[in-house]
Amino acid sequence: MNQFPEILKIDIGQYIELFIRWLMHNFGGFFHVISFSILWFLLQMQNLLFLMPWWLVLLIIFVVGWKVIDLKSSIIYTFLVFLIGTFGLWDSMMLTLAIVVTSVVISMLLGIPLGILMAYNDTFNALMRPILDSMQTMPSFVYLIPALLLFGMGKVPAVFATMIYAIPPVIRLTDLGIRSVPKEMVEAAHAFGSSNWQTLVKIQLPQALPTIMTGINQTIMMALAMVVIASMIGAKGLGLDVLEAIQHIDIGQGFEAGVSIVFLAIIIDRLSQSVATRFKYPK
């Protein structure tokens, strides 16, 4: 009586597995095209990052930090990136940045239109909310399974899993930003003869931009949080250095790779937050 009756057990996992295998069998070509496109963009981003000499990267961080925050912060952030280089992890940092940037760009291209659609369609909004809740609360390791089945091992499934984990904030905050635009402004635009598209582009999106930028900031941070997990399915970078340190119980390597991820997260977070604040409170 203390145990849950076996007769009531529902093995839903087998149906999910059958669905994934059905997708592979019937839409294999479609996923191959997606895989090729993601890999092409990732390699272009990776080549661009490796093309820049280390001193140019430091100079860019210094100038961007100075322009969007202040001189003191830019010096600190430049020094933190310099430290990552002194750890011998410069190439790993570039690989990590390539995966994060690719994941964030895809998340923006998909997330912002979905957020707009949620803001305009209450039925779609009600449908998407539980899906987004599941994406944010489900253990991130679970994303690796369908990613592996659909794309195999390597960088593409790493980007796919990272994107699935990181996309909810930009969708939610795009929806919130557009819904937060005063109705009077929208009604006034319609009264002057603006179409829905013109109202969206000229009124709602500019007004919602600070909120959308905050969503992009959160998406970037969640993408960075996936770098170690993504390394388990073939993504190289700082996450792989952490994983190798765990496997070999190498405290030194683990500390250097771990603190490098922390430095990278702090820098990207502060810079993107400052950009979002400038949109909210323009000088």
The domains of the chain are located at: 12-51+87-280
pLDDT tier, 12 (very low <50, low <70, confident <90, very high otherwise): confident
Q: Output the pTM of the full model.
A: 0.86
Angle value at C-alpha 46, between 40 and 49, nearest 5 degrees: 145
pLDDT tier, 233 (very low <50, low <70, confident <90, very high otherwise): confident
For residue 101, pLDDT beyond 70: yes
Pick the CATH number of 12-51+87-280 from 1.10.3720.10, 1.10.620.20, 3.40.50.720, 2.30.29.30: 1.10.3720.10
Kindly report, residue by residue over 150-160, the tens digit of the pLDDT: 777 778 888 88
What does the block give as tokens for 279? 């949109």
Lowest mean pLDDT among 21-30, 59-68, 111-120, 205-214: 21-30
For residue 281, pLDDT beyond 70: no
Mean pLDDT of the chain: 85
What are the b/e assignments for 246-268, b being 16+ CB within 10 Å? eeeeeeebbebbebbbebbbebb
Kindly report, residue by residue over 57-68, the tens digit of the pLDDT: 999 999 988 988
Between 144 and 172, the higher pLDDT residue? 172
Distance CA 95, CA 89 (A): 10
